[in-house]
Amino acid sequence: MTKAKTNTNIRDYEYFRVVLTIGKDAKGNLIQKQFYGTSKTDAENKRTEYIKNVSAGLNPDLAAQSLTMAMHTWLWNVEKRNGNKSSSFERYEGIYRNFVANSDLGILVVSEIRKIAIQKHYNKLLDEGKSYSQVKNFNKLLNKFFNYAEQDGYVIKNPCRGMRLPKNDEEDLDADDKVVETFSREELKKTTDSLGHEKIRYIVMFAIFTGARLGEILALKQTDLLNENSVVKINKSVRNVKIYDTEEKSHYEVKVTKPKTKYSNRENPIPEVLKPELKKLSKLITEEKLKLGPAYNDNGLLFPSVIGTYMDQQNVAKLWKKALAKSGVNYKKFHALRHTFATNLFENGVDIVTVSRLLGHSTIKTTEIYTHVLSEMKDKEVECLNDLLI
């Protein structure tokens, strides 16, 4: 199977070469791999190491790539073509670009990466101010890559398997759920009163009285209103997704996506106070249709743009900022309306399980971000015991 040759005095350098026959091609010709060394023993040791790695299930040629190179190839030639949602690939590419490319971990040879090197990289990211959720998502992607690398012979064993990450209590929170901001009743009234017959008014009112996320609201269709507008079915969301035309060229599109978890699929009751607002909204949309005529692109949306298409979240966010400035209310993110919805439910005695389901949280633990409200409720409830023995 093997054949050794010695070559000397080539360009005044002496080197040794040994050859290993590793199979035959489709025409029956021998496929050979060559190993070079400064001595015959050195070249033979390299060949022996190669045979040893192949026997162990390792592909030495692939394993010699850096993590940056190997992961880039995997992303664009496997994951990109594997039917992943555009939003998923955008997330993967962002994690790779921010945490692997041009990093100390990225220059390491794939087959030589061990748990401790990955752990040190995670620790460094945390020390630099990256969040636990960011590191957790990075670990998920890295684990997925190394599972592929193990199956394809880059590595003998996935170094991410069994990796212990720092614990955190914010794993299930939306990015905007980590800081709880709410509006007072006076602030809400000032804001909504200043909006008049504008579409942003109806979007705001819908958020106040259903607790839905902005992306969920903008994805709603008129058919999602059930039982004569008494219930809203929430089972999708819209977001701006980065679409890669090539590795160098990309653009953004508004896409409808499925919720991250099954718990986000829900049916929420619509309060009576919101029903007249929905009638006014319907009247506004009819006016927009008549104004644009045949050019109107009717998609049956509950909150369409002036031409009938999905509204862009960034544009709505700008309208929201202007609305607050117009009303003289201090700026808070649109997501604060969701927090206000939850807080008011708690203050009116609704139990945490019900609030969690209305918000579409996957666990009650997520809903416990409203601990300040829950604590005040407990204090008031315990006060009822004062008259127990009187």
Residue with token string 């592909």? 59
Tokens of 333: 């993110």
Q: Looking at residue 49, what is its pLDDT?
A: 79
Tokens of 338: 């969701």
Beta bridge partners of 66: 109
State how far Cα 135 lies from the chain centre: 12
Beta bridge partners of 242: 252
Residue with token string 């390491």? 108
Angle at 315 between CA 309 and CA 321, to 5 degrees: 145
The CA distances from residue 85 to 88, 172, 176, in Å, are 5, 21, 23
Give the count of beta carbons closer than 10 Å to the beta carbon of residue 297: 12
Listed residue (162, 127, 160, 133) closest to 145, CA to CA? 160
Q: Give me the numbers of helices (H) and strands (E) for the chain, helices first please.
A: 15, 8
State how far Cα 106 lies from the chain centre: 22
Contacts 24+ apart (CB under 8 A), 317-321: 317/214, 319/200, 320/200, 320/204
User: Where are the chain's structural domains?
Assistant: 2-55, 67-151, 177-380
Q: Looking at residue 5, what is its pLDDT?
A: 43
List the CATH code of the domain at 177-380.
1.10.443.10
Q: In CATH terms, are 67-151 and 177-380 the same topology?
A: no
Q: Looking at residue 248, what is its pLDDT?
A: 67
Task: From the options 3.40.1580, 1.10.3470, 1.10.150, 1.20.1300, give the CATH code of 67-151.
Answer: 1.10.150
Low-confidence ranges of the chain (pLDDT < 70): 1-14, 22-31, 53-63, 83-86, 166-179, 244-248, 260, 371-390
Please check whether residue 263 is in contact with residue 360, taking contact to mean a CB–CB distance below 8 angstroms.
yes
Q: Looking at residue 138, what is its pLDDT?
A: 94
- Give per-residue pLDDT as tens, 313-349: 989 999 999 999 999 999 999 999 999 999 889 888 8
Listed residue (97, 87, 171) closest to 137, CA to CA? 171
Q: Looking at residue 176, what is its pLDDT?
A: 52
Give the count of beta carbons closer than 10 Å to the beta carbon of residue 265: 13
Q: Looking at residue 129, what is its pLDDT?
A: 81
> In degrees rounded to 5, what are phi and psi of residue 335?
-60, -20
What single string gives the DSSP state of each residue in 33-53?
EEEEESSHHHHHHHHHHHHHH
What single string gives the DSSP state of each residue in 190-203?
HHHHTT-S-HHHHH
